[in-house]
Amino acid sequence: MKKVLHITNWYPNNWNDLEAIFIKEQFKLFSEVTFSHLIHIQVRTGTKLLEYKYFKYSNSEEGYYLLTKIKSHKIIELLTTFLLWWVLFKVNYKKYDLIHFHIAYPLLTYYHLWKKIVKIPIIMLEHWSAYHFNFYMPKNSKKLNSIKRIFKQNIPLITVSKALLDDIEIFSGNKIDKSYIIPNVIDKKYYYYLDKKTKHKTVTFFALNNWRNIKNPFPMLEGFVKLASSNIEFNLVIGGYGELMEDMKKFVVKYKLEDSVRFFSKMNKQEIANQLHISDAFVFSSIYETFSVVCAESLCCGVPIIGSDISAISEYANTSSYLRLKNNNADEWKNSLKYFIDNKEKYNNKLIAQKINLYLSSDTIKKNYKKIIYENT
């Protein structure tokens, strides 16, 4: 069995136990086909000039952190590289067959300078939507050069969707010679089809997210306002957290939707699964997604999805499970929601779950990951 050292810049941690939980799920599955150890390396915002923190999360998961009040992205890149190098030697990276980096930037910012020193091969896996938006910077920004350079070093790249691979190649201006697609891992212990014994007359919609600008919830909420104005009954459950959550609650009060909309804060896996099992559809209005774990979780429960027309989601969902909105505005939301309410019996929940489970088969993911490891060691 090959020995793989996983290094990630995002991971559940003592500050945020939900941060990039999808990487934790991947690591758990990958560990079944390799001897794996994971290191979370992160430079975080702190109150002091520099502070070091270490946490051991399990026998195979550790976290190394530098906390700083410095904001300069260049300093953050350098501190990340310093911490990375210190950890590599501390854990004796030479005993591994391969280093697997999750999230390239800023971990691999200076790989072009040290790649000849580290003699063992590396691969990287990406989830980040920022490539699609050019990191929200002008295309000629010099700040982007250090990120683009990472993808010109002939490092084998795994992405969670073809859409994300295309984004990275467009962003970097470079064709990736060795690329692979491995979807996110869904925890089938929680997310599975459960036959609904009781049929409720009022349709229940469910939305869950880290509510920030890219998740774009207000066109969707405006659609529900229009639905209510047409005297069409519905239940909407909104879970999650984020910078827009309070504004969303105020919106619901302003438009007098309190009788139809309920809010929950952070929800664990069991709570999310329980809600999916009693929901008729999952709704989202994101501007962009590289995969959308929660949409895949919904489909695994046999719950169809309604939302923005996003290519990464179309890689695993089709017209029998995914009601797409081309314009993602209030009128289209109202019409799509009404269409679903009138036609929800047309959606075969059991078949939806069966199809997505074929695509997200744990055995297939493990087989493909093992193949990637052996191809690159």
User: Under DSSP, is residue 205 helix (H, G, I), strand (E, B) or coil?
Assistant: strand
Rg of the chain, C-alpha, whole Å: 22
Concatenating the DSSP letter of every residue in 250-287 gives HHHHHTT-TTTEEE--S--HHHHHHHHHT-SEEEE--S
Question: Can you give the CATH number for the domain in which 342 is found?
Answer: 3.40.50.2000
Q: Which residues pair with 4 in a beta bridge?
A: 36, 98
Tell whether 15 and 106 lie within a shared domain: yes
Tell whether 209 and 313 lie within a shared domain: yes
Q: Please report whether residue 367 resides in a domain.
A: yes
Instruction: Report pLDDT for 197.
Output: 63
Mean pLDDT of 154-163: 97
pLDDT top residue among 119 and 253: 253
Tell whether 236 and 367 lie within a shared domain: no
The model's pLDDT over 95-104, given as tens digits with 9 standing for 90+, comes to 999 999 999 9
Is pTM, for the whole model, over 0.75? yes
pLDDT at 322 over 90: yes
Tell whether 12 and 137 lie within a shared domain: yes
Percent of the chain past pLDDT 70, that is, above it, reads 99
The model's pLDDT over 331-346, given as tens digits with 9 standing for 90+, comes to 999 999 999 999 999 9
Burial of 274 (0-12, 13-18, 19+ CB in 10 A): middle
Tell whether 304 and 221 lie within a shared domain: yes
**Domain count of the fold of the chain:** 2
Q: Please report whether residue 284 resides in a domain.
A: yes
Q: Please report whether residue 91 resides in a domain.
A: yes
The model's pLDDT over 180-211, given as tens digits with 9 standing for 90+, comes to 999 999 999 999 999 876 667 899 999 999 99
The one-letter code for the residue type at 264 is F
Instruction: Report pLDDT for 18.
Output: 86
The model's pLDDT over 59-97, given as tens digits with 9 standing for 90+, comes to 999 999 999 999 998 999 999 999 999 999 999 999 999
Peptide bond preceding 106: is omega within 30 degrees of 0, i.e. cis?
A: yes
Residue range(s) defining the domain that contains residue 292? 204-359
Instruction: Report pLDDT for 313.
Output: 98
d(CA 83, CA 4): 19
